[in-house]
Amino acid sequence: MNRFKIGVLGAGAWGTALAVLAAKHGAPVALWARDANRAAMIESARETPRLPGIKLPPSLRVSGDYPAVDILLLCVPMQHLRETLRGLPPQRGTLVLCCKGLELGTGLLPPEVLEAVLPGQKMAVLTGPNFAHEIAAGLPAASVLASADAPLRAALINALRSDTLRLYGSADVMGAALGGAAKNVIAIAAGVVMGAGLGENARAALITRGIAEIARLAAALGGKAETISGLSGLGDLLLTCTGMSSRNYSLGLALGKGETLGTILQSRTSVTEGVATAPALLARAQQADVEMPITEAVAALLAGESGVRETMRTLMGRALKDE
């Protein structure tokens, strides 16, 4: 049985799924919701509309108070991460970043935001090809736990592993965080390709070149290009670019079919991280002098600076070169 007390900040689908998984495997778990009334409703009903059909295990408690725990998983939306970190109590345990994206305005990745707010804080990044509803249902999956601190990495893997979620360790925090963020942008592009009826060949080419541009930026930021070929890069990208449960892919699909961004977002209750990530990722790439043509095309499309057909013509019309 897991002896660590685990806390999860963020009662959305992903936070709840991780809380359910940990509780099912013997850990006492506290799930925090920003809205105290919502927390009370979830606690009373023992289920949440974000994960239909999933009952909360008895050892999982939901509240609007910050939990006193050994390990704290941060599953809040990326654009709320800085605010959440600033509000944490002094006794907060080891922090595991589970959000994906870049911060608007600064272009910082989750571990960089954490270091800016809480310098020297013990931390790790949890990322990989995981849909929340499948994790909560106990279907088999794998993910990456990244930390530069080898003993901490091993301890967290031992504490968070389960019979249904296999964790692989990595020392490349930047590469893992970037893969989890950038794949959302490529997934929007993949959705656009399919929504516009451009075919499977085009999507396969786009995914492959997407991996290449993410790897270039990873190396420029001090990460490892090979990390992007693993679960936190290629694995996450394949899932997000092909699964209809992906909010980013489905948004791109709707854009490709001619729907407007405003209309799509108005119909959603959950955050589609790639919309904010695209311009932040492009700015970060430009600062590092790294070419990311797919990211650039998605950012222009989301900003209303180009249409679907024009975007595809721009990508296909780039100068020819060896792979």
Residue 273 lies in a domain: yes
Q: What percent of the chain is predicted at pLDDT more than 70? A: 97
Give the CA angle between residues 104, 302, 239 to the nearest 5°: 85
Domain at 20, CATH number: 3.40.50.720
Domain finish residue from 171, 198, 227: 171
For β-strands 123-127 and 94-97, DSSP reports them as parallel
Do 218 and 157 fall into the same domain? no
Question: pLDDT value at position 321?
Answer: 66
Q: How large is the average pLDDT for residues 144-167?
A: 95
What does the mean pLDDT of the chain come to?
93
Q: Is the pLDDT of residue 313 over 80?
A: no
Domain-located, residue 301: yes
d(CA 70, CA 75): 16
E-state strands within the chain: 6-9, 29-32, 60-63, 71-74, 94-97, 123-127, 141-146, 165-170
Contact 253, 201 (CB under 8 A): no
Contact, 32 vs 66, CB < 8 A?
yes
Q: Supply the pLDDT for residue 271.
A: 85
Does residue 1 form part of some domain? no
Query: Which residue, 243, 223, 121, is CA-closest to 177?
Result: 223
**Is residue 24 predicted with pLDDT exceeding 60?**
yes
Contact predicate 229/175, CB 8 Å: no
- Domain with 86, as residue range(s), is 6-171
In a domain? residue 212:
yes
pLDDT-based confidence at residue 140 (cuts at 50, 70, 90): very high
Place of tokens 């650039």: 296
Report phi then psi at 101, rounded to 5.
145, -175
Active site residue 183: yes
Same domain, 243 and 212: yes
Q: Please, what is the angle between helix 273-287 and helix 200-220, to 10°?
A: 50
Tally of CB atoms within 10 A around 132: 22
Band (317; pLDDT cuts 50, 70, 90) = low
- In this predicted structure, the answer to whether residue 320 has a pLDDT above a threshold of 60 is no
**Are 131 and 26 found together in one domain?**
yes
Which one of 147, 171, 195 terminates a domain?
171
Hey, is 5 helix, strand or coil? coil
163 and 250 co-located in one domain: no
Q: Are residues 43 and 134 in the same domain?
A: yes
Strands 60-63 and 29-32: parallel
pLDDT tens digits, one per residue of 50-84:
999 999 999 999 999 888 899 999 999 999 999 99
Q: Does some domain include residue 176?
A: no
Residue carrying structure tokens 């209809």: 244
Range of weakest confidence among 23-27, 170-174, 231-235, 293-297: 23-27
Rounded to a whole number of angstroms, the distance between the first and last alpha carbons of the chain is 49
Q: What is the C-alpha to C-alpha distance for residues 82 and 61, in angstroms, rounded to an integer?
A: 25
What is the rounded CA–CA span in Å between residue 278 and residue 302? 8
Residues 251 and 134 in one domain: no
Of 146, 171, 196, the residue that ends a domain is: 171
Clarify whether residues 309 and 265 are in a common domain: yes
Enumerate the β-bridge partners of residue 237. none
Percent of the chain with pLDDT over 90: 84
One domain for residues 203 and 303 = yes
- Sign of the CA dihedral with 126 first, then 132, 134, and 136 last: positive
- For the cut 90, the answer to whether the pLDDT of residue 262 exceeds it is yes
Same domain for 113 and 148, yes or no, is: yes
Q: What is the DSSP letter of 8?
A: E
Give the model's confidence band at 1: pLDDT under 50 very low, under 70 low, under 90 confident, else very high.
very low
Q: Which of 5, 24, 55, 183 is catalytic?
A: 183
Question: Model-level pTM?
Answer: 0.92
The per-residue pLDDT for range 86-122, each reduced to its tens digit, is 999 888 889 999 999 999 999 999 999 999 999 999 9
Q: How far apart are CA 282 and CA 102, in angstroms?
A: 10
Query: 22 and 167 share a domain?
Result: yes
Number of folded domains in the chain? 2
Q: Which two tokens stand for residue 78?
A: 């990326």
The residue among 9, 15, 2 whose CA lies nearest residue 56 is 15
pLDDT > 90? residue 192: yes
Helices (H), 221-270: 236-242, 247-256, 261-266
Q: Is residue 119 part of a domain?
A: yes
Residue 44 predicted with pLDDT over 50: yes
Kindly state whether residues 143 and 192 are assigned to the same domain.
Answer: no
Whether residue 200 sits in one domain with residue 156: no
> Residue 202 above 50 pLDDT?
yes
- For 259, residues 6+ apart whose C-beta sits below 8 A from its C-beta are none
In-domain check, residue 48: yes
pLDDT (tens digit per residue) in 228-239: 999 999 999 999
Q: How confident is the model at residue 242 (pLDDT cuts 50, 70, 90)?
A: very high
